[in-house]
Amino acid sequence: MFKIPRIIVYVLMIGGCIALIPPLVFARMRATPSPNRPIHIFWDMDFQPKFKAQAPNPLFADGRAMRPPVQGSVARGESYVDTHMFEGVVDGQWATALPTSMKLDQATLERGQQRFNIYCSACHGYSGYGDGAVNQRAMELVSNVNGPVNGTQWVAAKSLHDETTRHQPMGQLFNTITHGIRNMAGYGAQISVTDRWAIAAYVKALQFSQDAGSSGAKVAGAAN
Amino acid sequence: MSRFLFPRWSNALLPFVLVVGAIAPLYMTLLVAYGFSPKTLDGQYQPEQPVPYSHALHAGKLGLDCRYCHSTVENAAHAAVPPTQTCMNCHTQIHKDSPKLEKVRESYATGMPIEWIKVHKLGDYAYFNHAAHVTRGVSCVECHGRVDQMEVVHRAQPLAMGWCLDCHRNAVDHVRPPEEVFNLSKPTDSWTKDQRLELIKRYDLHPNDNCSTCHR
């Protein structure tokens, strides 16, 4: 047996070690978040000369591929002729019932509850007392010992059960949800018309449920 | 002129050469399969966003519903990134002078969009429909992971075709009652296989694996 020179043995050992590096690099890439992905080796048709939703387009001054509607345009099916449906107003007065195309039933109230929990409960709380998580957080920031954090100003979210809100007709609630009021922003862009009505109906139900006097019992009967 | 002759010791290397020769193709094959897999090339993409928005705070600690901001997800193919107005629903008052929100205030004042960086980008040939999935019981968490725990959002899944098909061919492991879709903290195996089979039947779920389902 002839002896293999040292140098050859070392080269082979080093080569073996180097062969371990790529798998380790790949394993690390899999395991750690990084801004340097995705890596496109085969481009195929990953990048096509077309625009998907919310994509940028440098041809327009604002960089949006999706063009915002021209001021004053009216969406199909939203003629706004129906003031009850779109403004909550009937004959110059706040509407006291749902628009005629909607039905006050279990399904509407459940939909309203679900939407209320998504959009309203953040500030107003699940039961409407103004004790939502965002409200609590804002209160903490305002009452910080070193003064309000980052200039936070906050007026406690309104309880939906206080004297001024409790007796508001459904149309007025709809209007408030749509356009906002005082420090509350309008949710017309975030919530569809029918969902806003469903929320208004649910808020009425919530208010009656927390106002368990004779009127509460009466309405519970009427709703059935 | 003398001919080159392999030194005698090279005979001792022969078995080694054979072993390496057998392993090398296998090594290269596995390396490419592992390294060029979307799990490696796309995995855990985490770009730095123009505004350091924390899902962990908003969706986790404050418990905002995904749909508060991504309000189109139940009706449209695209789960929209919210307009600046949605941020300003709260931030006209809360943290209203925060330096982190500078770009949000600027966008609000000028009407120019904030240039958020898309994390979950598919190839332009793929058409994923959010509404079709979330209204039939595929939770956000199946593809996006625990976004409610992410300070900075990263890709939790490879979003590659093979990965899509894993679920399309075995939907029963990935469905839950539609009303629990946005509840990220509840794992899908909280429901028994029988319950999930029942859901498949009740909602008539038949995800198919035709090319034209996603490519058109």
* Partner-chain residue, chosen from B64, B98, B123, that has the shortest CB–CB distance to A122: B64
Asked if the Cβ–Cβ distance from A54 to B81 is below 8 Å, we say yes
Contact list, B214 vs chain A (CB under 8 Å):
none
Return the structure tokens found at B155: 């890709």
CB atoms within 10 A of CB A80: 10
Task: Using an 8 Å CB-CB cutoff, list chain A residues near B93.
Answer: 138, 152-154, 183
What integer is the mean pLDDT of A79-98?
82
The rounded distance, in Å, linking the Cα atoms of A139 and A136 is 5
Per-residue confidence (pLDDT) for residue A222, from 0 to 100? 47
Q: Identify the DSSP state of A49.
A: S
pLDDT value at position B39? 87
Determine the Cα–Cα distance for residues B38 and B112; give it in Å rounded to an integer: 34
Q: Which residue has the tokens 């939502």?
A: A132
The answer to which of A38-52, A141-155, B41-55, B63-77 has the lowest mean pLDDT is A141-155
Q: Which residues contact B182 (CB under 8 A, 6 or more apart)?
A: B65, B66, B67, B134, B139, B140
pLDDT in tens, chain B (216 residues): 688 888 888 888 888 889 989 999 999 999 999 999 888 888 889 999 999 999 999 999 898 999 999 999 999 999 989 999 999 998 988 888 888 999 999 999 998 999 999 999 888 899 999 999 999 989 999 999 999 999 999 998 888 888 999 999 988 899 999 989 999 988 888 888 888 898 898 888 888 888 998 998
Position B73 scores a pLDDT of 93
Tell me what pLDDT residue A146 has. Answer: 77
- The shares of helix, strand and coil residues in chain A, as percent rounded to the nearest 5, are 45, 5, 50
Is A199 exposed, middle or buried, given 0-12, 13-18 or 19+ CB atoms closer than 10 A?
Answer: buried
Q: Is the pLDDT of residue A221 over 70?
A: no
Using alpha carbons, select from A202, A172, A175 the residue that is nearest to residue A187.
A175
**pLDDT at residue number A215:** 55
Q: Where are the domains positioned within chain A?
A: 83-223
Would the CB atoms of B93 and A154 count as touching at under 8 Å? yes
Q: Which residue of B has its CA nearest to A54?
A: B80
Query: What does the alpha-carbon distance between residue A166 and residue A89 come to, in Å, rounded to a whole number?
Result: 18
Tokens of residue A28, six digits: 């690390």
Q: Is B68 exposed, middle or buried (0-12, 13-18, 19+ CB in 10 A)?
A: buried
Q: Which residues of A touch B27 (CB under 8 A)?
A: 19
Q: Which amino acid is at B97?
A: D
Q: Write the ipTM.
A: 0.81
Q: State which H helix or E strand residue A84 sits in.
A: helix A83-87
Please, how many CA atoms are within 13 Å of residue B78, restricted to the half-sphere of its CB? 12
pLDDT of residue B153: 93
Taking the C-alpha atoms of residue A51 and residue A13, their distance in angstroms, rounded to an integer, is 53
Q: What pLDDT sits at residue A117? A: 93
Q: Tell me the shortest Cα–Cα distance from A73 to chain B, in angstroms.
A: 18
pLDDT value at position A89? 83
Average pLDDT over residues A59-67: 90
Of the given ranges (A122-131, A191-200, A213-222, B44-53), which has the lowest mean pLDDT?
A: A213-222
Nearest CA in chain B to A155: B93
Q: Tell me the per-residue pLDDT of A171-182, one tens digit each, with 9 for 90 and over.
A: 899 999 999 888
Q: Using CA atoms, how far apart are residues B37 and A29, in angstroms rounded to an integer? A: 11
Q: Which CATH class is domain A83-223?
A: mainly alpha
State the nearest Cα–Cα gap between B130 and chain A, in angstroms: 13
Judged by CB atoms closer than 8 Å, whether chains meet at B62 and A134 is answered as yes
Kindly determine whether residue A2 and residue B42, on different chains, have CB atoms separated by under 8 Å.
no
Distance from CA of A91 to the nearest CA of B (A): 31
Q: What is the reported pLDDT for B10?
A: 84
Q: In chain A, what percentage of residues exceed pLDDT 70? A: 93
- Rg value, chain B, Cα: 25
